[in-house]
């Protein structure tokens, strides 16, 4: 048993002083081996205490401990459940800075992005993913959903291992010490009725049946890995093949994600091709539902919002990317009010900071409505933690409670950004003042991955990022 003592911790929506967290840690394969994760207990069964599947959960959470128990690891600051980054494109991290030169639109940004994608190999992708996921751990992110569509070699040739790129991402997350839901993405067309272009051919499996066959060969879910599915967008998967992707996910009880209405041009093209909105097209082909998460959902009609809500489809907001790409402000309050649970993602990694994503959602709504207080800090933290875990297919509670995942992060309350606030307002301080730079500790499955702001597995994260990105730009 491993014991942590949190100076302050967010438990049941309340900041409690002196909280003991007892964990039976998971065992971990050496990252260098790139070993495939062990399978978990079958859905609906309970793992026996002490088994690999049972470890990594919180065995006990006790409040009111004025001092650390003997041998406990002390966590100074506010300890929160681990942050879940529900939408990531790891290779976009190589664009940071580069795409801030000059002006343009989403569509001109996309051409620069394709240039980076063209230079990825399984080895360079592993190096980049390891570094990017380590950056996430330093930011308090304990679980990431990777929307993965760079499947094949440039020109579309298949690697000897058809899932070499997916395996590189899985290994990168293991080496960085965080959980991963690999959302293997169907990306089959350049637009409605258009075959893949020169850049997109390495994304495509040809058709949805071939995509499904390749995705089925990915490793089974493990202790720190899940495999899900994604429809890149309605413009990238022909309507007649959407049901194949949806059925693949449904048969496995896996999460299914989709970029939805990120740009008005997508809505216009869908209306021209099919006479309906993208949301209606997805609903007609069985894509929407409680295991599905729509990413962005920026430009919805009222009918679209109702469709998402009635079906229980979640919505992942990515405010820092949406503003960086000039996409617009998404209707987060409206979709949540209609019944869609919310999660958050850093998407293109203009920044990697889930506190910024959480407060941006509220601040964007303030700008749109010229009124304050659409969500409480506690509500925003739930979107950044358990909302993301649920969207990524993790069934164990992402909360500081007995039986919950032993994934948590500690935010300093004595930095220049957070000092001076009353401890009982720690949640408000974290959401509306803290940044990723204030994260002091990150624990995943009971394993202390970041200690006092230093990554335990990746010795020099900035150096690893510079080397991996330099290899792509060099």
Phi, psi of 459 (to 5 degrees): -60, -40
User: Residue 441: which residues within 8 A CB-CB, separation 6 or more?
Assistant: 75, 77, 79, 408, 409, 410, 448, 450, 451, 452
Strand 454-455 and strand 447-451: the pairing is antiparallel
Evaluate whether 134 touches 439 at the Cβ level (below 8 Å).
no
Identify the burial level of 392 via C-beta atoms within 10 angstroms of its C-beta, where 0-12 means exposed, 13-18 middle and 19 or more buried.
buried
Task: Give me the count of residues in the chain.
Answer: 474
Tell me the H-state helices in 332-454: 332-338, 354-369, 377-382, 388-391, 426-432
Identify the burial level of 103 via C-beta atoms within 10 angstroms of its C-beta, where 0-12 means exposed, 13-18 middle and 19 or more buried.
exposed
Evaluate whether 386 touches 86 at the Cβ level (below 8 Å).
no
Active-site residue among 127, 184, 324, 347?
347
Q: How many other CB atoms are found less than 10 A from the CB of residue 25?
A: 17
For the question of residue 251 being annotated catalytic, the response is no
For the question of residue 353 being annotated catalytic, the response is no
Which two three-digit tokens encode residue 27? Answer: 């065992």
Active-site residue among 232, 257, 296, 349?
296
What does the DSSP 8-state code read for residue 34? Answer: T
Enumerate the β-bridge partners of residue 54.
none
User: Residue 14: which residues within 8 A CB-CB, separation 6 or more?
Assistant: none
Evaluate whether 170 touches 180 at the Cβ level (below 8 Å).
yes
User: Residue 316: which residues within 8 A CB-CB, separation 6 or more?
Assistant: 86, 87, 257, 293, 294, 295, 296, 342, 343, 344, 345, 388, 391
Q: Pick from 253, 313, 262: which is nearest to 283 by CA?
A: 313
d(CA 415, CA 78): 12
d(CA 204, CA 238): 12
**Catalytically active residues, by annotation:** 296, 347
């Amino acid at each position: 048993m491993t014991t942590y003592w949190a100076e302050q911790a967010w438990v049941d929506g309340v900041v409690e002083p002196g909280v003991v967290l007892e964990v039976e840690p998971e065992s971990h394969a050496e990252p260098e081996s790139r070993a495939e994760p062990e399978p978990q207990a079958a859905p609906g069964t309970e793992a026996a205490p002490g088994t690999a599947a049972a470890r990594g959960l919180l065995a006990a959470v006790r409040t009111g401990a004025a001092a650390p128990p003997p041998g406990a690891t002390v966590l100074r600051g506010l300890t929160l459940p681990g942050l879940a980054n529900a939408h990531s494109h790891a290779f976009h991290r190589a664009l940071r800075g580069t795409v801030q030169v000059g002006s343009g639109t989403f569509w001109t940004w996309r051409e620069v992005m394709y240039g980076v994608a063209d230079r990825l190999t399984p080895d360079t992708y592993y190096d980049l993913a390891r570094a990017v996921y380590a950056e996430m751990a330093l930011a308090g992110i304990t679980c990431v959903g990777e929307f993965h569509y760079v499947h094949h070699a440039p020109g579309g040739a298949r690697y000897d291992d058809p899932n070499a790129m997916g395996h590189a991402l899985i290994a990168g997350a293991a080496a960085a010490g965080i959980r991963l839901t690999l959302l293997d993405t169907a990306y089959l067309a350049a637009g409605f009725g258009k075959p893949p272009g020169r850049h997109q051919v390495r994304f495509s499996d040809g058709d949805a049946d071939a995509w499904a066959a390749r995705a089925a060969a990915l490793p089974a879910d493990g202790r720190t890995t899940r495999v899900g599915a994604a429809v890149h967008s309605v413009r990238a998967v022909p309507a007649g093949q959407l049901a194949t992707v949806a059925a693949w996910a449904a048969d496995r009880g896996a999460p299914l994600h989709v970029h939805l209405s990120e740009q008005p041009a997508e809505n216009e093209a869908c209306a021209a091709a099919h006479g309906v909105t993208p949301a209606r097209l997805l609903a007609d082909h069985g894509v929407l539902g409680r295991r599905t998460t729509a990413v962005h959902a920026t430009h919805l009609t009222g009918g679209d919002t109702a469709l998402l809500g009635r079906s229980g489809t979640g919505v992942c907001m990515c405010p820092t990317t949406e503003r960086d790409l000039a996409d617009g402000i998404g209707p987060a309050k409206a979709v949540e009010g209609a019944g869609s649970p919310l999660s958050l993602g850093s998407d293109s990694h203009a920044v990697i900071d889930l506190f910024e994503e959480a407060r941006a959602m509220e601040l964007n709504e303030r700008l749109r409505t010229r009124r304050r207080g659409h969500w409480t800090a506690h509500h925003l933290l739930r979107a950044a933690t358990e909302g993301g875990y649920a969207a990524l297919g993790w069934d164990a509670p992402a909360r500081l409670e007995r039986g919950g995942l032993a994934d948590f992060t500690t935010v300093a309350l004595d930095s220049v950004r957070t000092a001076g606030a009353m401890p009982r307002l720690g949640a408000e301080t974290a959401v509306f003042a803290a940044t990723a730079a204030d994260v002091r500790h990150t624990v995943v499955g009971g394993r202390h991955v970041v200690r006092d702001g230093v990554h335990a597995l990746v010795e020099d994260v900035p150096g690893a990022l510079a080397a991996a990105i330099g290899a792509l730009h060099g």
